[in-house]
Structure 1
Amino acid sequence: MPEIIVHHLNNSRSQRVLWLLEELELPYSLRRYERDAETLLAPAALREVHPLGKSPVIEDGQRVVAESGAIVEYLAVRHGNGRLLPEPGSDDYWRCRYFMHFAEGSAMPPLLLKLVFDRVASAKMPFFARPIARGIADKVLKGFVLPQIRAQRGYLEAELGDREWFAGRDFSIADIMMSFPLEAAKSRGGLGEESPNLLAWLQRIHARPAYQRALQAGGDYAYAD
């Protein structure tokens, strides 16, 4: 099997790919990229790998795979030999598929909006524009973004009320996908002591040896405890 190449951007979703590779004990190599300190965008060099110039991207032989959810599913199905995947057709299987999509489709958008509007509120701008821009940011945050984050936090807290892992009884790729939005929520989305189930879940994933190995491989990661 050829070694998998991971195009890894600091403080990004690609940390989940490293974690999965460590869980599956697959050989891989890293090509590192750093965000622009001002814009937080990926460098233009990533466009040489994929036209959209985003991370994560992997190369597996001649195949290039982008999008973290697609990469996680691809690696688990193609190279996992059944590991971290619930039995097809079972209730846990469908829960796994649901949370695989929930992670990016529902959990991340309000967190990204909060990041954007927080930056708008703190950005340097002409004095006459500040009240307007900050007023709009505050209105959107309080009227839409923060209520969405709170509703999702309550929902996910309840989902872990009678199970340790998102797909059910066993750790799965659903937990790997859910790690980034919940780490981001703890960092900037208000996830705290009112969510003991989610905090306990974060402690469980952070204690996994493969997670720790992925941190060592990937370098600085702002969302880890």
Structure 2
Amino acid sequence: MIIVHHLNNSRSQRVLWLLEELGLPYEVKRYERDRKTLLAPPELLAVHPLGKSPVIQDGGLTLAESGAILEYLAGRYGADRLVPASGSPERLRYTYWMHYAEGSAMPPLLLKLVFDRIETAPMPFFAKPVARSIAARAKGMLVMPQIARHLDYMEAELATRPWFAGEQFSAADIQMSFPLEAAAARGGLDARRPRLTDFLARIHAREAYRRALDKGGPFQLK
């Protein structure tokens, strides 16, 4: 039995979704973020040395990193589903988007979250104007322009095909869901980019996506 160590409002929601798409049996062990720090609880350190989620256990294997987990599950249990054929142009795009999601799309979105929290964090009154000014300048000059560039890039890519790898839905779309959910929550993704908003609407309508929400609990990024 595959065990998913699932942290609320995290990348592990993608793992549950893939498992539902594949129709595999699995067990969910839930963990809750600290409400003040939003960090994972220390109990996860007993599962993996980094104390982060997602982590799966499959027999004697313990595996972290959502991209690695999706590739492992799709490769081992997918039976040629959700992964384009080896050697095809779709397979190359699939590999690209599997890595792009965390390697390129997520860093500016994470910086946006960090600077947003700096602006609202409690601190001595004399430090607030300085901290807020630095955070606002960093967001305005660097972070938001980078997010906009990535969103424009992804919007243009979906002009040529319905899914990120090609004509068929794949695990790359599951991997790409998290940065797009984060962009919709805090990165300015809205109706001005209709292909990306349509992508989100289409994945939200999938039965497996909804079943994963039932298993994982509420999923809301800030």
d(CA) in 2 for partners of 1:55 and 1:160?
Answer: 29
CA offset digits 1:168-206 (Å, max 9, x no partner): 110001100000100110011100111000011111111
Where in structure 2 are the equivalents of 1:42-191 lying within 5 Å?
Answer: 42-191=40-189
Counterpart of 1:160 in structure 2: which amino acid?
A: L
Identify the range of structure 1 (33-42 vs 127-136) with the bigger mean alpha-carbon deviation: 127-136
Q: How many residues align?
A: 221
Determine if the alignment matches structure 1 residue 194 to structure 2 residue 208: no
* 1:53 counterpart SS class: coil
Identify the range of structure 1 (5-14 vs 133-142) with the bigger mean alpha-carbon deviation: 133-142
CA offset digits 1:15-61 (Å, max 9, x no partner): 00000000000100000000000000000000000000000000000
d(CA) in 2 for partners of 1:155 and 1:55?
Answer: 28
* 2:30 counterpart SS class: strand
CA offset digits 1:100-158 (Å, max 9, x no partner): 00000011110010001000001111111011111111111111100000000100000
Determine if the alignment matches structure 1 residue 14 to structure 2 residue 16: no
Counterpart of 1:220 in structure 2: which amino acid?
A: P
Return the match for 1:23 from 13, 16, 21: 21
* CA shift for structure 1 position 70: 0.3
* 2:118 counterpart SS class: helix
Determine if the alignment matches structure 1 residue 38 to structure 2 residue 32: no
d(CA) in 2 for partners of 1:99 and 1:162?
Answer: 15
TM-score after normalising by structure 2: 0.98
Question: Which position in structure 2 is the counterpart of 1:215?
Answer: 213
* 1:32 counterpart SS class: strand
- Runs (4+) off by over 4 Å: none
Counterpart of 1:129 in structure 2: which amino acid?
A: A
Identical residues among aligned pairs (%) = 64
d(CA) in 2 for partners of 1:90 and 1:131?
Answer: 54
Give ranges in structure 2 of 5+ residues lacking alignment. none
TM-score after normalising by structure 1: 0.97
